[in-house]
Amino acid sequence: MAASGEPGRQWQEEVAAVVVVGSCMTDLVSLTSRLPKTGETIHGHKFFIGFGGKGANQCVQAARLGAKTSMVCKVGKDSFGNDYIENLKQNDISTEFTYQTQDAATGTASIIVNNEGQNIIIIVAGANLLLNTEDLREAAKAISRAKVMICQLEVTPETSLEALTMAHSNGVKTLFNPAPAIADLDPRFYALSDVFCCNETEAEILTGLTVSSPADAGKAAQVLLERGCQVVIITLGAEGCVMLSQTEPVPKHIPTEKVKAVDTTVKAAPDPKARWPQLPAFPP
């Protein structure tokens, strides 16, 4: 069922420019000086609970950049799920298509982060894996009227593929983040992606190529472009990103300003322009 409660705005009368179909994860974060070894118990110095999941991170970032947004997702009918719905509302995100289920718990990510920002993560997807095509059909009007639809792979691939198909068939621009990456990704994902955005590790899994430099990323991006994407962006952490498109097929390296890594678990940007504003807009 859809989440109950009064939305922060009368979203039913407004069209969301950005619709995200994807995951919500409750982050259970422990901070420690170093990562534990196998079988070792160590003391941490701080614990907190946060709101994560690639899909929700992307939706919140789009909302903070000023877009009207809607989140199509599924959480458990539990305290984590209730808190998550409230968090989305507080970020002015429509929860009209945020569903709750009694058949699984809200997805969780247990995260350990050391002083250098390195981390170990275990996710239990839970309710995220129960988001299905029937839910998407209920959200079809919102998806078809959006300007951009974003999805990833923290829900089932079948659900993400259906979301891309619905958006693409209605002329909605699509941004696909193939994470977690699948080596034998269905070829239709490429053809349905206006913007295909992955990091270097995901690019390696998808192409079988080593990606350890911007030049390597350019080669991997060309392989992905040949599979039918309109625009390919490979993010490289501190090295910035590499992009190319069907209209500009020569790889272009776009550096970024150096920053101190505080926690690399928060890295799912909905629009690469949020971090690299010099990127061109969506293809016409």
Residue spans of alpha helices (H) in 123-260: 133-138, 140-145, 157-169, 188-191, 200-207, 214-226
Token pair in block for residue 174: 């699509």
The burial of 171, by beta-carbon neighbours within 10 Å (0-12 exposed, 13-18 middle, 19 or more buried), is given as exposed
Question: Which amino acids are annotated as binding site for ATP, given as ranges?
Answer: 199, 235-240, 256
Question: Which amino acids are annotated as binding site, given as ranges?
Answer: 25-27, 53-57, 154, 199, 235-240, 256, 263, 265, 269
Torsion of CA 171, 157, 53, 269, to 10 degrees: -40
Question: Which amino acids are annotated as binding site for K(+), given as ranges?
Answer: 263, 265, 269
Q: Is the peptide bond before 277 cis (omega within 30 degrees of 0)?
A: no
Find the radius of gyration of the CA atoms of the chain: 19
Token pair in block for residue 262: 């505080």
Distance, CA of 109 to CA of 27 (rounded, Å): 5
215: helix, strand or coil? helix
Strand-pair category, 25-31 with 46-52: antiparallel
Q: Does residue 31 contact residue 161 with C-beta atoms inside 8 Å? A: no
Per-residue pLDDT of the chain (284 residues; tens, 9 = 90+): 444 434 433 444 578 999 999 999 999 999 999 999 999 999 999 999 999 999 999 999 999 999 999 999 999 999 999 999 999 999 999 999 999 999 999 999 999 999 998 999 998 999 999 999 999 999 999 999 999 999 999 999 999 999 999 999 999 999 999 999 999 999 999 999 999 999 999 999 999 999 999 999 999 999 999 999 999 999 998 899 999 999 999 999 999 887 766 655 554 444 544 444 444 444 44
Question: Which amino acids are annotated as binding site for substrate, given as ranges?
Answer: 25-27, 53-57, 154
In this prediction, residue 265 carries a pLDDT of 55
Taking the CB of residue 239, how many other CB atoms lie within 10 A of it? 18
